[in-house]
Amino acid sequence: MTDNYLSSIKKQFEFAKSLGEKTFEQLEEDALFWRYNEESNSIAIIVNHLAGNMLSRWTNFLSSDGEKQWRKREQEFEEIIQNKTELIAKWNEGWNCLFNAINQIDESNFSQVIYIRNQGHTIIEALNRQLGHYSYHLGQIVFIGKMIKRNNWNSISIPKGGSEKYNQEKFLKEKSKAQFTDEFLNKNRNK
């Protein structure tokens, strides 16, 4: 079960990460800093927050609380990132920390309780918690991208009006055991 869960959750995180990256690819640099209003976050601010969260949660996660003393959460919502190069570097730093942490999990520590703000979590609970949190913010990133691109947005999932064609193609194939992310991730790796 451990290997199946870890493989599955890692693919879920890879899929979530790819949604952000497919959005970044469609946007000009200035669009990454666009805000709907003063109370809204830009894509750059959301990336800064995600990276801060990932670094705090997953650095030494087996031996220290996931809310690190050095984390400055309020500063994550300030306009710190200045250009697309910084955004991509911060993005990759956070995701690399997460994937490195997942790669440390095995049978010997899978049942260990880890803490976030002194609240105990199984590793499954902690990973599921963060998948939900990161997916929430990735939905925001994609939505902002769609607002900016309007009619020039290239769908990164099943395009609007394309469900019937997509389902027909799926049901023409033999039944198989696969995670839904496999097809999406492999298709995008081959581009």
* Residues 4-23 pLDDT 10s: 999 999 999 999 999 999 99
pLDDT at 97 > cutoff 70? yes
Residue 178's pLDDT is what?
77
Q: What is the 3-state secondary structure (H, E, C) of 89-140?
A: HHHHHHHHHHHHHHHHCCCCCCCCEEEECCEEEEHHHHHHHHHHHHHHHHHH
Residue 188's pLDDT is what?
56
Structural domains for the chain: 2-189 (1.20.120.450)
Residue 129's pLDDT is what?
97
What's the pTM value of the predicted model, to 2 decimals? 0.91
**Between residues 176 and 83, which one has the greater pLDDT?**
83
pLDDT at 101 > cutoff 60? yes
Query: What mean pLDDT do residues 54-59 have?
Result: 98
